Amino acid sequence: MTNHDQFYIGGKWVKPGNRERLDVINPATEEAIATISLGTQEDVDQAVITARDAFETFSQTSRKERLDLLKAIAVVYERRMEEMAETISHEMGAPANLAHKAHAPAGLGHLMAMIDVLKEFEFEEQIGTTQVVKEPIGVCGMITPWNWPINQITCKVIPALAAGCTMILKPSEIAPLSGMLFAEILDEAGVPAGVFNLINGDGPGVGTAISSHPDIDMVTFTGSTRAGIDVALKAAPSVKRVAQELGGKSANILLDDVNWEQAVSAGAIGCFGNTGQTCVAPTRMLVPHDKMDEAAKIASAAAENFKVGDPASEGTQMGPAVSLAQWEKIQNLIQVGIDEGAELVAGGVGKPDGLNRGYYVRPTVFARVKNDMTIAREEIFGPVLSIIGYGDEDDAISIANDTIYGLAGNVSSSDHDRACRVARQIRAGRIIVNYAGPDRMAPFGGYKRSGNGREWGRFGLEDFLEIKSIVGHNPG
Q: Which residues are catalytic?
A: 245, 279
| Cα–Cα distance for residue pair 327/304, rounded to 1 Å | 19
| Cα–Cα distance for residue pair 358/355, rounded to 1 Å | 7
Taking the CB of residue 67, how many other CB atoms lie within 10 A of it? 16
Q: Which of 439, 431, 428 is nearest to 248 (CA)?
A: 428
Q: Which residues have CB under 8 Å from 116's CB, separation 6+?
A: 441
Q: Is the Cα dihedral 321, 323, 324, 329 positive or negative?
A: negative
In three-state secondary structure terms, 450 is coil
| Cα–Cα distance for residue pair 351/382, rounded to 1 Å | 13
What residues does 284 pair with on adjacent strands? 251, 386
Q: Which residues have CB under 8 Å from 331's CB, separation 6+?
A: 349, 350, 361
Q: Which amino acid is at 121?
A: F
**Secondary structure E strands in 218-376:** 218-222, 241-245, 251-254, 284-288, 343-346, 364-369
State how far Cα 135 lies from the chain centre: 26
| Cα–Cα distance for residue pair 361/349, rounded to 1 Å | 8
| Cα–Cα distance for residue pair 84/78, rounded to 1 Å | 10
End-to-end CA distance of the chain: 64
Angle at 138 between CA 137 and CA 141, to 5 degrees: 105
Q: Which of 476, 469, 424, 457 is nearest to 135 (CA)?
A: 469
